[in-house]
Amino acid sequence: MNSLLFLAGIFASMSSFHGCALAPDNLTGYVVTLDTIAVLKTLNGGSTWSPIPTSASRKFFDVFTLDGEKVWTCGILGEIMYSADGGNTWSMQVTGVSKYLTRIEFYDSLYGWAVGGDGIVARTRNGGDYWYQYFTPFYLAEFYGVSFVDTLTGYAVAGWPDNYETAQGYIVRSVNGGINWELLRQSEGYDEYLDVYAINENVIVVVGGNDETLEPIILRSSDGGNTWDSLTNIPSGAYYLRAVDFVGNKGWAVGRSGTILHTEDGGQTWVRQFSPADSTLFDVDFSDEFHGIACGYNHIIYTTDGGQTWNDGVISGIGESRKSIPAISFSKRIFTDLLVIEISNPSNVDSRIDITIFDAKGTLVMAWHSLSMDGMRRIVWDGKGKQGKPAESGVYYIKVEFPGGFLFDKVIKVR
């Protein structure tokens, strides 16, 4: 089968664009997905995207590029892939570092770090020819962000999005290149810390959210992480944040419901920017103060004016069809009795959908089949199983199947 036809078929049913990177030329960029083992590439700053084949065996979390030619990806089972020629050819640098690696970053062509599950950090000093594996004391931490000021001082943050657990938020620091780590802050409730950026040796910004309320969290340190200020002036209408990036003192943070926030004073104050996305944005990357890309559920967006305007990118072979993919939303992410599930159909074309709910063990709890949908469909789940018995507290997975693909999300039921 032609590889491009195969990749087009993959992307037609894929929705979770999870990591992105834009090169210093403002034109060359990459996006990876949590649904497939393919990579998207742009040569015009994010306006159009084309799938490129890889030799990866596992799905991706993140991607990083230094110059548009040197590219690294990380993902499931701690697999790190590398391309030295702009994605034309790929090689596996390491696998099995962790159950997954969620974020990868390089300081230069030699020094790089990747973080992931079970409190594990990977480090290279030779461009990835060899990766060292470090087990931090925080074995319960699910690391999602990492940022180094230089080759010695760096920060990592942890959270566990949508998980029914408390005290999952960690902020840790290393002063010897990632070998040893010290705890700077740990959350007590449902606060999750999901990305970090070290602007300089003193100013560090951490973003995340509260799993219970979906409120955004922005923490800022001006003394190298010794003390932290929790910002209370976050713009209204912003939600749970997943990623942050800075160019000098100008920064952008993205998250749920298409949230995009912008700061011009090193993270002290933030304003909202208009977003064409209405679902979660997982990552954002700027090559200079004007050019940036962000990605998430059903969307890859780009800007050429610092975020004053954001536009949807177009995927070659898929075209505008991604805009007609349904979206799912909930009345509450954490609920007790009733959960309202809303599925929107942007195409407004009558179609049939199936909705199924599974518990954390994969057992079918409730299902609705062949539902008619021509714009918006609303389902109310009373928190009970098919036999009418109340479901136990815990995490529940909701799958919406529609012609050509499916959506997957999760909620938490409490008593």
CATH number, position 368: 2.60.40.1930
Higher pLDDT, 265 or 56: 265
Domain C-terminal end among 255, 286, 320 = 320
pLDDT at 5 over 50: no
Same domain, 120 and 256: yes
The rounded distance, in Å, linking the Cα atoms of 71 and 65 is: 4
Same domain, 244 and 306: yes
Same domain, 177 and 220: yes
Same domain, 357 and 300: no
Most confident of 191-195, 298-302, 402-406: 191-195
pLDDT of residue 394: 85
When divided into structural domains, the chain yields a total of: 2
pLDDT of residue 2: 41
Same domain, 227 and 347: no
The contacts of residue 284 (CB under 8 Å, 6+ apart) are: 20, 243, 244, 245, 252, 253, 254, 260, 292, 293, 294
Write out the residue range of the structural domain in which residue 296 sits: 3-320
Burial group, residue 1, by CB count within 10 angstroms (0-12, 13-18, 19+): exposed
The rounded distance, in Å, linking the Cα atoms of 58 and 77 is: 7
The rounded distance, in Å, linking the Cα atoms of 327 and 298 is: 8
pLDDT at 177 over 50: yes
pLDDT in tens, 337-390: 889 988 877 655 567 888 999 887 778 899 998 888 767 788 899 999 888 889
Same domain, 316 and 339: no
Same domain, 117 and 206: yes
- Extract long-range pairs of 182-189: CB within 8 Å, 24+ residues apart: 183/137, 183/138, 184/155, 184/225, 184/226, 184/228, 185/219, 185/228
Domain C-terminal end among 285, 320, 355 = 320
Confidence of residue 319 (pLDDT cuts 50, 70, 90): very low
pLDDT at 93 over 90: yes
pLDDT of residue 324: 54
pLDDT of residue 90: 93
pLDDT in tens, 195-242: 999 999 999 999 999 988 889 999 999 999 999 999 999 999 999 999
Most confident of 99-108, 272-281, 347-356: 99-108
Same domain, 211 and 285: yes
SS3 assignment for the chain: CCHHHHHHHHHHCCCEEEEEEECCCCCCEEEEECCCCCEEEECCCCCEEEEECCCCCCCEEEEEECCCCCEEEEEECCCEEEECCCCCCCEEEECCCCCEEEEEEECCCCCEEEEEHHHEEEEECCCCCCCEEEECCCCCCCEEEEEECCCCCEEEEECCCCCCCCCCCEEEEECCCCCCCEEEEECCCCEEEEEEEECCCCCEEEEEEECCCCCEEEEEECCCCCCCEECCCCCCCCCCEEEEEEECCEEEEEEHHHCEEEECCCCCCCEECCCCCCCCEEEEEECCCCCEEEEEECEEEEECCCCCCCEECEECCCEHHHHHCCEEEECCCEECCCEEEEEECCCCCCEEEEEEEEECCCCEEEEEEEEEECCEEEEEECCECCCCCECCCEEEEEEEEECCEEEEEEEEECC
**Residue 105 near residue 116 (C-beta atoms within 8 A):** no
Q: What is the largest CA-CA distance in the chain?
A: 59
The CATH number given to whatever domain includes residue 264 is: 2.130.10.10
Pairing of strands 314-315, 48-52: parallel
Domain C-terminal end among 287, 320, 353 = 320
Same domain, 240 and 111: yes
Residue 346 in tokens:
């942007």
Same domain, 17 and 158: yes
Same domain, 330 and 295: no
Same domain, 316 and 366: no
